[in-house]
Structure 1
Amino acid sequence: MKRTQSGMTLIGFIIVLAVVGVFIYMGMKVIPMYSEYFAVKQALKQMSQEAGISQQDPKRIKDNFFARLYVSYADNVKPSDVKLARKEAGYVMTVDYEVRRPLIANFDIVGHFNAEQVLSRTAGDD
């Protein structure tokens, strides 16, 4: 009886390990970008639920927003990325920013994020 061996060779195993390693490395670059984006969305959602937000001064609203981002360690959003427009009985806050992370040599990962939230909760809206 002749038995044949089956399985992965050492070279095949090293190639699979290299491919998995590249995907893990890319994930380490991309996941923080998305966690920051979710922190931005969470800060906008919290602000929309704040009583009397529509009566506040736009500068105070932006300061409040950046204070929430500071707690979340979100440092890629700049004041120039935040737009506040008056709409009906409140504001529409738009955060549009880009994150660029180096990947390998001269390759970068670029993430463009856009979040928008209506801020119209008044003191009587409970």
Structure 2
Amino acid sequence: MTLISFIIVLAVVGVFVYMGMKLIPMYSEYYAVKRALSELSTDPAAANAEPAKIRDLFFRRLYVSYSDNVKKEDLKIERRDAGYVLSVDYEVRKQLIGNLDVVGRFEASQEMRRGGGLD
């Protein structure tokens, strides 16, 4: 392997590492959202709570996970016959290089039954 080909390989690897540094936090936040939804569905304090209290408990869990991209309007709480369905739909935009952006669109939902049971 010549020096020039080694430098080219390093440049390509560097670009992929840089892209990973931008993408990994987006996905770790998504998994924190999914974990918060899952924990909330098994929380006895949220089992018979009103939607405002459920919203507060959800965002407290996200605050602990340092999730900054999920806003209050991204969480939808729908009443169903056995409880609520919580759905989170949000978008994350990170600058990649120059005027190129990486956009991640994430959706997660969880059914929450009265009494704290899972579906």
TM beyond 0.5: yes
2: CA distance, partners of 1:37 / 1:85: 21
TM alignment of 1:42-57, pairs within 5 A: 42-51=35-44, 53-57=46-50
For 1:49-95, what per-residue CA distance to the aligned partner results, in whole angstroms no more than 9, with x for missing partners? 11253421101100000000000000100001000000112100000
Is residue 22–residue 94 contact of structure 2 (8 Å, CA) maintained in 1?
yes
Segments of structure 2 that go 5 or more residues without pairing to the other structure are none
Give 2:94's match in structure 1, choosing from 98, 101, 109: 101
Residue 15 in 1 paired to residue 16 in 2?
no
Is residue 47–residue 116 contact of structure 2 (8 Å, CA) maintained in 1?
no
Count of residue pairs brought into register by the alignment:
118
Is residue 52–residue 122 contact of structure 1 (8 Å, CA) maintained in 2?
no
Segments of structure 1 that go 5 or more residues without pairing to the other structure are 1-7
More helix by share: 2
Percent of pairs with identical residues: 61
SS for the counterpart of 2:28 is: helix
Residue 120 in 1 paired to residue 113 in 2?
yes
Provide the TM-score with structure 2 as the length reference: 0.95
For 1:23-50, what per-residue CA distance to the aligned partner results, in whole angstroms no more than 9, with x for missing partners? 0000000000000000000000000111
Letter in 2 for 1:13: F
SS for the counterpart of 1:103 is: strand
Aligned-residue Cα RMSD (Å) equals 1.5
